[in-house]
Structure 1
Amino acid sequence: MLVLSLLAGLFISLSAPQQRAEAAVEDHTNATYNMQGGGNKWTTDIPQILRRGFNVVSLQEVGPRPPGTLTWTSNYLGGTANWNGWRVQEYQWRPLGQSRNWYIYYIRTDFSGVAGANGGRVNLAILTRDHPSQVHVARPAFYGNNGLPTSRPALGITLGNTLYFSVHALATGGSDGAQLVENMAALAGNQRTWAAMGDWNRRPRDLSIRRGWHKYTVGGPTHQSGNELDYMVSNERINSYRGWARGYGSDHWSVEFRKLAANAEVELLNTHDNDRHMTFQNSVSGTRLVSGPQNGDTYSGFEFQPAGSGLYRIVSNGTGKCWSDNAGGIILWPCNTAGDQLFDLNYWSDTGQIQIRPKNRTTCVGDDSDFGWGSEIITTANCHGGETRLDFRFDEDPGGNPAVVF
């Protein structure tokens, strides 16, 4: 039997959470998608996401009613049947191409019209392969003077010892996002991990969260406006975890979260120099690696190719040539087996960022503190310094292999 919980003032749990020490957000393959009203996207877009291996999908703007068979409806969680009260519904549905039923958890948050073909399109859902032990509704951030909410709640489920939420912040700039994160975290408590995925309606850098919580982003647009609005916030630190934006039939792209895998194509960002891309200015052998335009260019994509003994060659996608450590800098050179083309890769202790150390050095790759476009990337930076903290984003689809590279 599902257990439903609601954050209302102080959170009171109706059952003790399952304890599972190894539980983590990445136990499941996660994605988020604003469906812009649902409709036929349930039968066109959603099956494509599932075929790509994702089994927990947070959904926004799902339309007035999800597909499948209604199998359970909660009581109203306070208030009335109107928009000062919510109830959760469970549907069972077999998506196209799947051999078994999946579970959809749905909450109506849009009371602007009758729940039918022409109304109530901006509603929340979570699609999951596995049956959760709990379903949650996290209290919205804002209430009016009449005591009624003026923003949306978040919908969550518990799988193992992790809570997964679907979030849709206010379209007028996502001003409710920071408090909504606090409400979800309070609902999860101190002993469980949580991940909130959805449409935050503001850029990641503009969403304020506590120290020790983390944002997992694409690092580029997720909406046709050119803004990055769709991403994950979690209390778990997951090294090498990133989103990949994939366009379907909505004005938002879906964001699919994966770890960095061997041979995935990435762009490397110099976090010490305003997230400029590391790039070569042309394909000529001997060309130096520099900080490039912030939007990337032809020669800013790279692959980490395993070279044995935990080392990697770093190949320029635009040229097919390799990084070589030369006189304290990185040059472009035809790939070979020499030691100056071998690099050790490590994660920094915080989210996502990596560090690259040439095999033949005790120093690391970083900027030379001469900031701006065209400044050289050196191999003699102190490995303990901030100039060696490198970020990455997927340059091309990382594919279905979620295995960590290093």
Structure 2
Amino acid sequence: MRLSPFKTGRGNRHGARTRMRHLVPALVLALLAGLSVSLSSPAQHAEAAVEDHTNATYNMQGGGSKWTTDVSQIARRGFNVIALQEVGSQPPGRLTWTSGYLGGSSNWNGWRVQEYRWRPLGQSSDWYIYFVRTDFSGAAGANGGRVNIAILSRDHPSQVHIARPAFYGNNGLPTSRPALGITLGNTLYFSVHAVSPSGNDGARLVENIAAIAGQRTWAAMGDWNRNPDNLSIRRGWHKYTAGGATHQGGNELDYMVSNERIAAYRGWTRGYGSDHWSVEFRRLAANAEVELLNTHDGFRHITFANTVNGTRLISGATNPDTYSGMEFRPAGNNLYSIVESYSGKCWSDNSGGIILWPCNGAGDQLFDMRYWNDTGQIQIKPKNRTTCVGDDTDSGWGSELLTTLSCSGGQTRINFRFDEDPGGNPAVVF
């Protein structure tokens, strides 16, 4: 459902009041299936890919000065769509638009979307904050509690969306939070904050987001309050995670769900002033240090036991070690050398395995990098072979990685995690 928003302000009091009488009932009904509000915005290209924007999510644990110290830093690092949770009682900047109430009663104050114009520190123009108050705790007359949601965008969206919450009480009022979204091009981006501590509304909230999007591409980012392995989603939808804790308590709670399959797309965690780390999403970057994980062997780290010349590449521990950081360095002709970061030495194809050897640019040190169709998995093929790097039927610590396995086999699927922040907008690998 599309509705033309009304604006508040002295110049249009009568018009706003008239439009409000017509809009409020429609807004309440629209909430049953989710709400989409059309905005006046400059013409945009009809992109339909999540990675057309650089995306991040951050639970701010209360907003306040973190807008300037934390959120501005994320913006300066090149991320231009930022899903935010626990943003405080009110965003910074100038309030420019307020929707009608999406519902209301004496017990529930109702949801309405607000647009703020705000210039993050270090930016040359205003950005757009869309905000929904979901926390009405606090003293009478106060703005409300801190557990509210927002989404920040450098570009002006064409629509703003509210995805209906998962749960309602016997009185017909919601007992969980909605999700807040925007449309940029032809892609919908949502900020999600599932209920704590179980996150048991997350799966249904994703379904509600998908219902709003229809055939369009969508991405839902936020604090899901449950491990990604425990979030049940529909076949053909995908989770994009950092592959480790995103909260100081040791749990992975913050990630993305999307209906788009994006090869080698991952999150990188970065600590700021909250008990959650931000998760910043990007594809595999050239020269960025990564950890390679042996999918065939319980996601053990692919590593070396030491840095002596001739040391064999093996399946190591489930946690990173000194020699598990790797870099993909472009070598021309769509080939790459793979460097063990600690020693600066290269992978070399030798007698059916990989050994560590000083980098010399020879053919046995060049590799063709490919994506599996599966999200996030890659495949490494030596230049001089028709086979790929992978693990055979052996498993456990010390199992050697071979270069002689069929590229169509599951043993050659390799996952990765960012080990060091590639920074800025690095070149995407293959």
Equivalent residue runs for 1:68-217 within 5 Å: 68-80=93-105, 83=108, 85-114=110-139, 119-190=144-215, 192-217=216-241
Whole-angstrom CA distance in 1 between matches of 2:405 and 2:264: 22
Give the 3 Å change call, closer, same or farther, for CA 270–172 of structure 1 in structure 2.
Answer: same
SS of alignment partner, residue 66 of structure 1? coil
Residue 392 of structure 2 corresponds to 368
Whole-angstrom CA distance in 2 between matches of 1:307 and 1:380: 22
Residue 20 of structure 2 corresponds to none
Whole-angstrom CA distance in 2 between matches of 1:212 and 1:255: 23
Residue 403 of structure 2 corresponds to 379
Equivalent residue runs for 1:311-326 within 5 Å: 311-326=335-350
Residues 177 and 193 in structure 2, CA contact (< 8 A), matched pair in contact too = yes
2:75 matches 1:50: yes
Whole-angstrom CA distance in 2 between matches of 1:278 and 1:39: 42
Whole-angstrom CA distance in 2 between matches of 1:258 and 1:383: 26
Residue 318 of structure 2 corresponds to 294
After TM superposition, give the deviation of residue 231 of structure 1 in Å. Answer: 0.7
Segment drifting more, 105-114 vs 52-61: 105-114
SS of alignment partner, residue 163 of structure 1? strand
Q: Which residue identity lines up with residue 196 of structure 2 in the other structure? A: A
Residue 429 of structure 2 corresponds to 405
2:324 matches 1:303: no
SS of alignment partner, residue 172 of structure 1? coil
Whole-angstrom CA distance in 2 between matches of 1:155 and 1:115: 26
Residues 33 and 163 in structure 2, CA contact (< 8 A), matched pair in contact too = no
Give the 3 Å change call, closer, same or farther, for CA 14–64 of structure 1 in structure 2.
Answer: closer
TM-score w.r.t. length of structure 2 = 0.90
Residues 357 and 364 in structure 1, CA contact (< 8 A), matched pair in contact too = yes
Larger helix share, 1 or 2: 2
Whole-angstrom CA distance in 2 between matches of 1:333 and 1:400: 31
Whole-angstrom CA distance in 2 between matches of 1:188 and 1:347: 27
Residue 9 of structure 1 corresponds to 32
**Residue 339 of structure 1 is aligned with which of 353, 363, 368?**
363
SS of alignment partner, residue 314 of structure 2? strand
Whole-angstrom CA distance in 1 between matches of 2:202 and 2:349: 45
2:273 matches 1:278: no
Residues 259 and 402 in structure 1, CA contact (< 8 A), matched pair in contact too = no
Residue 276 of structure 2 corresponds to 252
TM-superposition CA deviations, 1:75-119 (whole Å, max 9, x none): 111233753621011111122221111111000011222487784
After TM superposition, give the deviation of residue 8 of structure 1 in Å. Answer: 3.3
SS of alignment partner, residue 183 of structure 2? strand
SS of alignment partner, residue 399 of structure 2? coil
Whole-angstrom CA distance in 1 between matches of 2:165 and 2:352: 53
**Residue 87 of structure 2 is aligned with which of 62, 65, 78?**
62
After TM superposition, give the deviation of residue 318 of structure 1 in Å. Answer: 1.4
After TM superposition, give the deviation of residue 238 of structure 1 in Å. Answer: 1.1
Q: Which residue identity lines up with residue 110 of structure 1 in the other structure? A: D
Whole-angstrom CA distance in 2 between matches of 1:284 and 1:327: 17
Give the 3 Å change call, closer, same or farther, for CA 11–52 of structure 1 in structure 2.
Answer: closer
Give the 3 Å change call, closer, same or farther, for CA 352–328 of structure 1 in structure 2.
Answer: same
Q: Which residue identity lines up with residue 169 of structure 2 in the other structure? A: G
2:367 matches 1:357: no
The unaligned stretches of length 5 or more in structure 1 are none
Whole-angstrom CA distance in 1 between matches of 2:127 and 2:347: 46
Residues 217 and 231 in structure 1, CA contact (< 8 A), matched pair in contact too = yes
Give the 3 Å change call, closer, same or farther, for CA 380–68 of structure 1 in structure 2.
Answer: same
Whole-angstrom CA distance in 1 between matches of 2:416 and 2:106: 47
Percent same amino acid among aligned pairs?
A: 78
Q: Which residue identity lines up with residue 242 of structure 2 in the other structure? A: V
Asked which structure has the greater CA Rg, the reply is 2
After TM superposition, give the deviation of residue 221 of structure 1 in Å. Answer: 1.2
SS of alignment partner, residue 307 of structure 1? strand
TM-superposition CA deviations, 1:161-193 (whole Å, max 9, x none): 111100001112211111100000111112x11
**Residue 266 of structure 1 is aligned with which of 286, 290, 296?**
290
Q: Which residue identity lines up with residue 43 of structure 1 in the other structure? A: T
Residues 34 and 164 in structure 2, CA contact (< 8 A), matched pair in contact too = no
Residues 194 and 202 in structure 2, CA contact (< 8 A), matched pair in contact too = yes
Residues 64 and 116 in structure 1, CA contact (< 8 A), matched pair in contact too = no
TM-score w.r.t. length of structure 1 = 0.95
Aligned residues: 404
Q: Which residue identity lines up with residue 32 of structure 2 in the other structure? A: G
Segment drifting more, 89-98 vs 314-323: 89-98
